[in-house]
Structure 1
Amino acid sequence: MIQIVDGLFNGISIGAVLLIAALGLAIIFGLMGVINMAHGELMMLGAYTTFVVQNGFKMLGGQWFEIYIFFALIAAFIVAGIAGFILEKGVIRYLYGRPLETLLATWGVSLILQQFARSVSWMLVIGISIFCLLFFGAMAVISRRNDWEKIRNWAIGLMLPLSLGIALATGAFLGQTYGLAATKPWFGAQNVDVTAPSWLRGGFPIGNFQLPYARLFIIALTILCMAAIYLFLNRSTWGLKIRSVTQNRQMSACLGIPTEKVDALTFALGSGLAGVAGCAISLLGSVGPNTGQNYIVDAFMVVVVGGVGKLIGTVVAALAIGTANYLIGAGVVASLLKPVPLLGDLFSYFATISMAKVMVFALIIAFLQVRPAGMFPQKGRTVDA
């Protein structure tokens, strides 16, 4: 019984991690229909933001370090949300209705963000800042012209290489002048560790096992995020606009709803939740450029199994997949079915973390053959839209 209870708690805690990782994806993929392969890298940005905030509070010392995690959550949400807003404005906006192109574009963005995390330094930040200032500043000025639509392609073709060249030259000059070229990257390719506050270390003892405080904190954070998203989508004006645009974009535009702003807000919201997920998973292990890749596949499976566009389905699927992964991988199911000859041997063979993922994935494929729309399929005319 102790083994079963321990297995269920650990499974639920893993499910909570999956849920908080899939929550932002459920909004971006479920509500907007965008296959965002860079979602894992947005989680990575949130994890690195937590690392930076932690180092800042370490310098303050004392009791300030004990509360840094709350500031890190806010900062991770803002940083990932801004990154998602820029991604939607610069890439996704031109690819709506073309899922294959969206998949390829966001996959390319994920590779760029991974390499950015490995090589980011003061010199690179200065170069990017100068480029953004020149290019986007010039676009903002030129777009005020009455013939903007006619000269748009010409302006972009001229200002893009010009701004890039000036940024590279200025960055190289400043790097040589102030010795920034010799400075090491901020993070590098190696993983970095995030130290949890003292009140998140250890666990709550129950009988012969403990409930880790870090996982209890993640479960509580997941419940809080779910409640906040539910209230935002169902009780706020912008939430009503998001649901309206999701169901019928043309009619919403006719009623005066700014659909482009709604798209950007929705994508930024889902990206911000990915940053919160990155902050949460940084408490469970080291942070590296490939951190998000460990969760992106499982997060997509959670959204698809739960039912696209259904937050309640995301909750149930995350808890089910997380619990199944742990119970099978830890050998709990194998020990329970040991008296049954064939089933006991079968689950004993899959009683490792990697093999448990294989079995759960096979079970998901079989489930989708029976219910291809997921646990909670959409109903009504929006299904055929």
Structure 2
Amino acid sequence: MFDYSMAEIGNIVVMQAFSGLSLFSVLLLMALGLAIIFGQMGVINMAHGEFMAIGAYTTVFLSRIAETYGIVNYYFLFAIIASFIVAFIIGYIVEFVLIRHLYKRPLDTLLATWGLSLVMQQIFRSTFGAKEVSAVLPEWLMGSFQPTPDIDIPINGVFVLGLAAVVTLGVFIFMFRSRWGLRVRATVQNRVMAGAVGINTKKVDRVTFALGCGIAGVAGAAFTTIASTGPTTGSLYIVDSFMVVVFGGAASVLGTIASAFGIAQAQSILQFFMTSSMGKVATLMVIVGILMLRPEGLFASKVRK
């Protein structure tokens, strides 16, 4: 660090901060889906990263079709919607076949979804190969712009940030400003009473789990703009996603946003001046220290007792 001038350090911090915004956006999208599944339903979904990979592979598949027909500049927005739909449908099926039998048994959901993640990784490996693959991005996502001669801001990072903002707003409206969100929160607060007033709690569980998986699919589509995708890509982000949810406070959208931003920025800036591993370790140590003081996370959900 001491080999740089103050001006160079300032430019590095700004560029790494913008680089961290891309990581923040992916982490936020992953953590939003996980917060819905874990925070609202109490299900420890270790296969959540694989639903992100489903979105990424869906985008890669559609990019190849778009390249064949010469429509690369038009497919990406459709790919985001398709990634959500595919991950949503698979999540719906998984909840019906597996998860619905394991509610209120968190250790069983952890083991079952961990096994599911291994099965899904093998399916990815058999279908798309063991090597990492990349989506062909449209021209309007390429390049960067320069607010100053020394700072480059990638366009794809700005797009992913905007996508994360739109999805976050949508989740907030869905959870706190819609009748369905009211049913979800009623089911979480008191399942028996919710069922007594006519709420189909099983359907609420299924759609809520599928929604969390669908948001992970959107995270996968966003991920293709910043990195390539492999069979184990999703598993690399599951720990960070759980860390975001726990640190921010389970079931807190505001906490998830603040936590994802802080963790992404800390990792991005520290990893430039340290090794990647040391940057993660330093971030984790700070999080552990804060959680020792606030075990409920940054923004604890308020529940009447």
TM > 0.5? yes
Partner of residue 87, structure 2? 80
Secondary structure of 2:181's partner? helix
Structure 1 residues 115-126: aligned runs within 5 Å: 115-120=122-127
Shift in alpha-carbon separation, 1:222–1:29, aligned structure 2, 3 A: same
Output the amino acid matched with 1:66.
N
CA contact (8 A) 2:145 2:152 kept: yes
Q: CA deviation at 1:329?
A: 1.2
- Cα offset, 1:98, TM superposition: 0.4
Which one-letter code corresponds to 1:72 in the other structure? Answer: A
- The structure that has the greater radius of gyration is 1
Residue in 2 aligned with 1:218? Answer: 160
2:107 is the counterpart of 1:100: yes
* Aligned-partner Cα distance in 2 for 1:327–1:190: 29
CA apart distance, 1:188:
1.2
Partner of 2:255: 313
Deviation for aligned residue 1:355 = 1.0
1:189 aligns with 2:130: yes
Partner of residue 19, structure 2:
10
Report matched runs for 1:181-330 at 5 Å. 187-207=128-148, 208-330=150-272
CA displacement at 1:3 relative to structure 2: 2.7
Which of 288, 293, 298 aligns to 1:365? It is: 288
Alignment of 1:50-199 (within 5 A): 50-61=59-70, 64-120=71-127, 187-199=128-140
Unaligned runs of 5+ in 1: 121-186, 332-350
TM-score w.r.t. length of structure 1 = 0.75
Contact 2:72 2:136 (8 Å CA) reproduced: no
* Range 265-274 or range 361-370, more displaced: 361-370
Q: How many angstroms apart in 2 are the aligned matches of 1:54 and 1:67?
A: 10
Partners of 2:37 and 2:55 in 1: CA distance? 17
- What displacement does 1:231 show? 1.2
Pairwise CA distance, 1:11: 2.4
Supply the distance in 1 between the matched residues of 2:180 and 2:41 (Cα, whole angstroms).
Answer: 15
Tell me the CA shift for residue 56 of structure 1.
1.3
Partner of 2:54: 45
Question: Aligned AA for 1:357?
Answer: K
Q: Secondary structure at the match of 1:373?
A: coil
Deviations 1:55-105 (A, max 9, x none): 1111221xx210211111111001101111111111110000000000000
Q: How far does residue 235 in structure 1 lie from its aligned partner after superposition?
A: 2.3
Q: Distance in 2 between matches of 1:380 and 1:58?
A: 51
Aligned counterparts of 1:203 and 1:260: Cα–Cα separation in 2: 47
Give 5+ residue unaligned stretches, structure 2.
1-9
**CA RMSD between the two structures:** 1.1
1:374 matched to 2:304: no
- TM-score where L is the length of structure 2: 0.94
Measure the CA separation in 2 of the matches of 1:201 and 1:380. Answer: 46
Shift of 1:113: 0.3
CA–CA separation in structure 1 for the residues paired with 2:74 and 2:38: 33
What letter corresponds to residue 367 of structure 1 in structure 2? I
CA offset at residue 32 of structure 1? 0.8
Between the two proteins, the alignment pairs up a number of residues equal to: 295
